[in-house]
């Protein structure tokens, strides 16, 4: 979302021909910038005695902020996405959810890691656990009972499409870990500790279009330069782009330079959000790399006086079949220039439909009965996100996303007084996860289903946040053996339930 201050600062800089900077105090920032997640679902669910969910009916209320049309419309986008996610990956045929916005004096809800998908997934994952408690079915078994077996462009009753998935198999892969955590819970309970296990089976839509552009260029010395239209801001996408191009050219990633955020180098680009950059931007890098490789093959053939079909490529060199005569990328750069050809290719990858990563997340928690503090002792994440380009940075995304979801479950809330004034105006009154709150995550990439893009990637940046909140809340509910209908589960809230 663009704030008015950003436009004002830009205009002032142009008018005064001087650098202009805008400063907010922390309290001003907390009160005026976007918040997320402020939704309430009132629902009824039909469940048979075996635990099969027959239907869901409800009304989803969301905070629309001040009565400004553009602001209200954006908030509605978050809420409508949440409502459409209400069936998750479950076989629920009857759904009716209304969406109602409420104008308030508070700031509007907007996109925040997940943007409607965490809310929708939270609602259905909590409904499933409440149903399990009602009919006396294990929380893992009720998910197996209601899960879709698999998906191939499956359209839900609310109009969402899941591109691919092998859901029942994912649950089976995670089940031994669930049974292990349940045994740990029972051992803790035998020692008089208050412990619980929670399950989440998150659904997501990710990697939105409409397209992304990349330029791949051969430079002096035979190095490869990648220029991306999307600019990462901490996700490690630059490393992934280098690995994609390096794989095509069969060179070390250190031989690939990645640039972004410069319209002098690439005028066309979209954005980094929605778990889209590697899946969409990476596909553009891949296709541009292939096209440059094809162009270089023609250059090598002309320089060596042979037909392209007589050449083979490996380890950064074109070789003539039979005698082994070769040209490496450094010589190809020089040959291209001597022929008056700039060795570069651009490609815009158009995304036809979003992808749907999914997973199974498990949490083991311990509750301090004196203070109400909740600690996450063990967390297991089984994610199916298609092809994983860079396992290290991908797992880093999972760790960060899970901790954000835990913050949502246990700590974070914008608190307003009876007079409508914001009380949580700094990081003493608004508790975000700190180093002591770190959650150790044991992550497994399932590798069951892939997307239809050239890489087979689906996206990973938000799935952990979507999953962790219901997994932790379900675990605390299991520990306390009481229905929990609100969050965050701060110590004060937990003590009231003890």
End-to-end CA distance of the chain, in Å?
41
Query: Which pTM does this prediction carry?
Result: 0.92
- Sign of the C-alpha dihedral, residues 53, 54, 57, 62? positive
Answer CATH for 211-350 from 3.90.1480.20, 3.30.365.10, 1.10.1060.10, 3.60.15.10 = 3.30.365.10
**34 SS3 class:** coil
Q: What pLDDT is stored for residue 5 in this prediction?
A: 86
**294 SS3 class:** helix
Domain boundaries, the chain: 32-154+163-206+354-497, 211-350
The answer to whether 32-154+163-206+354-497 and 211-350 have equal CATH topology is: yes
Cis, peptide link before residue 210, omega less than 30° from 0: yes
pLDDT below 50 — which residues of the chain? none
The CA-based diameter of the chain, rounded to the nearest angstrom, is 85
32-154+163-206+354-497 maps to which CATH number?
3.30.365.10
Q: Contact 231/260 with Cβ under 8 angstroms?
A: yes
Enumerate residues 6+ apart whose C-beta is below 8 A from 214: 226, 227, 228, 229, 241, 266, 281, 284, 285, 287, 288, 346, 347, 349
What's the rounded Cα separation, in Å, for the pair 448 and 183? 27
**362 SS3 class:** strand
Enumerate residues 6+ apart whose C-beta is below 8 A from 400: 464
* Residue of 335, 346, 340, 339 whose CA lies nearest to 220: 335
What's the rounded Cα separation, in Å, for the pair 319 and 248? 16
What's the rounded Cα separation, in Å, for the pair 197 and 448? 25
* Residue of 246, 227, 223 whose CA lies nearest to 284: 227
Structure-block tokens of residue 295 = 């162009």
Q: What pLDDT is stored for residue 273 in this prediction?
A: 78
What's the rounded Cα separation, in Å, for the pair 360 and 474? 13
Q: What pLDDT is stored for residue 321 in this prediction?
A: 86
Q: What pLDDT is stored for residue 452 in this prediction?
A: 85
- Environment class of 387 (CB within 10 Å of its CB; exposed 0-12, middle 13-18, buried 19+): middle
Where do we find the tokens 């860079």? 390
What residues does 257 pair with on adjacent strands? 225
What's the rounded Cα separation, in Å, for the pair 112 and 114? 6
Cα angle vertex 469, ends 464, 474, to 5°? 125
Q: What pLDDT is stored for residue 92 in this prediction?
A: 95
Q: What pLDDT is stored for residue 1 in this prediction?
A: 65
């Amino acid at each position: 979302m663009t704030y008015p201050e950003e436009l004002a600062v830009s205009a002032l800089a142009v008018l005064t021909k001087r650098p202009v900077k805008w400063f907010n105090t922390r309290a001003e920032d907390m009160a005026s910038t976007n918040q997320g997640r402020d939704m309430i679902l009132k629902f009824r669910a039909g469940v048979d005695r075996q635990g099969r969910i027959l239907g869901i009916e409800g009304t989803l209320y969301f905070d629309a902020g001040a009565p400004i049309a553009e602001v209200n419309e954006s908030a509605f986008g978050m809420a409508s996405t949440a409502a459409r996610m209400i069936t998750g990956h479950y076989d629920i045929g009857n759904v009716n959810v209304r969406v109602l916005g409420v104008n308030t004096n508070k700031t509007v809800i907007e996109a925040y890691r997940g943007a409607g998908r965490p809310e929708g997934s939270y609602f259905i994952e909590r409904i499933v656990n409440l149903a399990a408690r009602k009919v006396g079915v294990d929380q893992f078994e009720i998910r197996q009972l209601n899960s879709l077996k698999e998906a191939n462009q499956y359209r839900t009753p609310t109009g969402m499409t899941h591109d691919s998935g092998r859901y029942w198999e994912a649950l089976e892969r995670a089940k031994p870990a669930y049974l292990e955590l349940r045994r740990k819970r029972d051992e803790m309970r035998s020692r008089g500790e208050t412990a619980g296990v929670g399950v989440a089976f998150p659904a997501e839509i990710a990697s939105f279009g409409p397209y992304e552009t990349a330029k791949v260029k051969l430079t002096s010395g035979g190095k490869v330069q990648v220029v991306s239209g999307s600019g990462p801001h901490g996700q490690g996408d630059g490393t992934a782009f280098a690995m994609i191009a390096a794989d095509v050219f069969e060179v070390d990633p250190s031989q690939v330079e990645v640039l972004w955020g410069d319209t002098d180098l690439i005028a066309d680009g979209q954005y980094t959000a929605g778990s889209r950059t590697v899946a969409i931007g990476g596909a553009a890098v891949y296709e541009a790399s292939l096209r440059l490789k094809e162009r270089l093959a023609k250059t090598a053939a002309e320089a060596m006086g042979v037909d392209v079909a007589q050449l083979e490529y490996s380890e950064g060199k074109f070789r003539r079949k039979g005698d082994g005569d070769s040209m490496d990328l450094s010589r190809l750069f020089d040959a291209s220039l001597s022929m008056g050809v700039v060795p570069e290719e651009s490609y815009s990858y158009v995304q036809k439909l979003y992808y749907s990563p999914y997973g199974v997340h498990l949490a083991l928690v311990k509750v301090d009965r004196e203070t109400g503090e909740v600690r996450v002792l063990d967390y297991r994440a089984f994610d199916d996100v298609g092809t994983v380009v860079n396992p290290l940075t991908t797992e880093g995304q999972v760790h960060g996303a899970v901790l954000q979801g835990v913050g949502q479950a246990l700590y974070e809330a914008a608190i307003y007084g009876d007079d409508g004034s914001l009380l949580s105006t700094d990081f003493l009154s608004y508790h975000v996860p700190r180093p002591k709150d770190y959650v150790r995550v044991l992550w497994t990439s399932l590798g069951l289903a892939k997307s239809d893009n050239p890489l087979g990637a689906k996206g990973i940046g938000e799935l952990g946040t979507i999953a962790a909140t219901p997994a932790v809340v379900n675990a605390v509910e299991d520990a306390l053996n009481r229905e929990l209908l609100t969050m965050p589960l701060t110590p004060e809230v937990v003590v009231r339930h003890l």
